[in-house]
Structure 1
Amino acid sequence: MQKLTKLSAALVLAAAAAAPALAAPETYVTDGTHTFPRFSYSHFGYSTQLSRFDKASGKIVLDKAAKTASVEVVIDTKSVNTGYDTFNEHIQGEDFLDTAKYPTATFKSTKVVFEGDKPVSIEGNLTLKGVTKPVTLTVTSFQAMPHPMVKKDAIGANAFTVVKRSEFNAGKYAPHVGDDVRIDIAIEAIKQ
């Protein structure tokens, strides 16, 4: 019985020592050449307009074993790209993004929901034009594997949410120009 007790104690100590190594969170930094937030909205019902931000940064902390993660993204709102310089300036004005006063938008997760080994939704807070609102991103794809070019572990995902721009003090011309704005993000990040 005494041998069994010593063996059990040794196994518990070995498991405790090994646990941190198995469940270590890993930090990934976004690849700015493959991370682009996009947004789309109805333009008078004629068409769905698609635009993007050319500059975004952030980090993801992922613990694969524990199936937990956190996500932070900072968007340079001055990098808005509608495809038309005049409209880029217009959308940066006070009625919309007001980039002179609010040069960045941020998303910070509060919870990441996993199904198996993959995240399926990311709950968090979106701050845009000085207003913070809770949003949930639906993850439509996720990949974790060694990056074939940089020879480091990497992750990538696509996710989206829909917000009302009027809730962020950017509702000019609504409802003619759609109040509902779909935000999509394509993100890739390299392990540090």
Structure 2
Amino acid sequence: MKKIFALLVAAGISMSAFAAPETFTSDANHTFSSFSYSHFGYSMQTSRFNNTTAKFTVDRAAKTGSVEATIDTKSVDTGSKLFDGHIQGEDFLDTGKFPTITYKSTKVNFKGDVPSTIDGNLTIKGITKPVTLTVTNFHCADHPMMKKMACGANATAKIKRTEFNAGKYAPNVGDEVTLTLAIEAIKE
């Protein structure tokens, strides 16, 4: 064993290169998604989905990973009960038929030791399109209260409502929507 270790060190191979993938499950109290869009050019409206779950696997040594997220469309929170109902209607999310939005990665791209973009498939109203998330923050550390490893990330993507059959009032109500995911997750 000592000879193998000495050979690895001599060859310049780090033991961390053999690190196993780590799996993290979202903390419901610190994970949500939001979306923003132009409202007739007057303002950028921002709303959120209060129930978002995510699970991701990351192997920082191998620079690989995967992400799956599910958004409960009925948890939309615009700050107005009237608009919540409007957004849940057939012209927009049609939550009666499509109670979730899903995202499943196909590839996690790294810059240095952290994920920088995530390629994957976004499904809204039964329509699946390739979407790349840009990771704007990624941090892992021991969680001081949970006493376990935790990772957090923020990621954004721009999508077109009309591509997902949710384009009523476009272009007056902006077709381009910025989707943002905020995830904090605890190691399994």
Give 1:1-192 correspondences, 5 Å limit: 22-192=18-188
Give the Cα separation in 2 of the matches to 1:31 and 1:102.
24
Give the Cα separation in 1 of the matches to 2:92 and 2:66.
29
Residue 108 of structure 2 aligns with an amino acid whose one-letter code is V
User: 1:11 Cα shift?
Assistant: 5.3
User: 1:64 Cα shift?
Assistant: 1.7
User: 1:19 Cα shift?
Assistant: 7.2
User: 1:43 Cα shift?
Assistant: 0.3
Residue 138 of structure 1 aligns with an amino acid whose one-letter code is T
User: 1:20 Cα shift?
Assistant: 9.9
Give the Cα separation in 1 of the matches to 2:112 and 2:54.
25
Unpaired segments of 5 or more residues in structure 1? Answer: 1-6
Give the Cα separation in 1 of the matches to 2:116 and 2:166.
29
User: 1:21 Cα shift?
Assistant: 8.9
Give the Cα separation in 2 of the matches to 1:141 and 1:160.
10
Secondary structure of the 2:28 match is coil
Residue 145 of structure 2 aligns with an amino acid whose one-letter code is M
Larger radius of gyration: 1
User: 1:65 Cα shift?
Assistant: 1.2
TM-score of the two chains, using structure 2 as the length reference: 0.91
Residue 47 of structure 1 aligns with an amino acid whose one-letter code is S
User: 1:22 Cα shift?
Assistant: 2.6
Give the Cα separation in 2 of the matches to 1:45 and 1:168.
22
User: 2:16·2:61 contact (CA, 8 Å) conserved in 1?
Assistant: no
Identical aligned residues as a percent? 64
Residue 191 of structure 1 aligns with an amino acid whose one-letter code is K
User: 2:87·2:93 contact (CA, 8 Å) conserved in 1?
Assistant: yes
CA RMSD of aligned residues (A): 1.9
Give the Cα separation in 2 of the matches to 1:76 and 1:53.
7
